[in-house]
Amino acid sequence: MEYTTKGTCSRKILFEVEDGKVHNVQFVGGCNGNTQGVARLVEGMDVNEAISRMKGIDCNGRGTSCPDQLAKALEQAIQK
């Protein structure tokens, strides 16, 4: 899946959800080390657990962050 981010340095998030698990997360843009870390931490994680852990994380008062945007992307993916 592909999700276009809003309000973050990263422009896009690519990912897969298979059997309720998060896989192959890739951020386009953003803080490379941080986004790689987030991607590795959620690999294989239950999608609902990933959403609950990341939803609402704020980056410097922006009202969102790369992890929060990933949570929103995952929410969209499981609603389809």
Q: Give dist(CA 69, CA 14) in Å, integer.
A: 11
Token look-up 């994380």 returns 57
Q: What b-and-e string marks burial along 41-61, b requiring 16 or more CB atoms within 10 Å of the CB?
A: ebeebebeebbeebeeeebee
Q: With 80 as the cut, is the pLDDT of residue 8 above it?
A: yes
The mean pLDDT value for 8-18 works out to: 97
- Inform me whether the pLDDT recorded for 31 exceeds 90: yes
DSSP 59: S
**Average pLDDT of the residues in 69-80:** 95
Q: Work out the number of other CB atoms within 10 angstroms of the CB of residue 30.
A: 21
The encoded tokens of residue 60 equal: 């410097």
Mean pLDDT across 15-41: 97
At residue 80, the pLDDT reads: 74
Q: Which domain does 6 fall in, by range?
A: 2-79
Task: Count how many domains the chain has.
Answer: 1
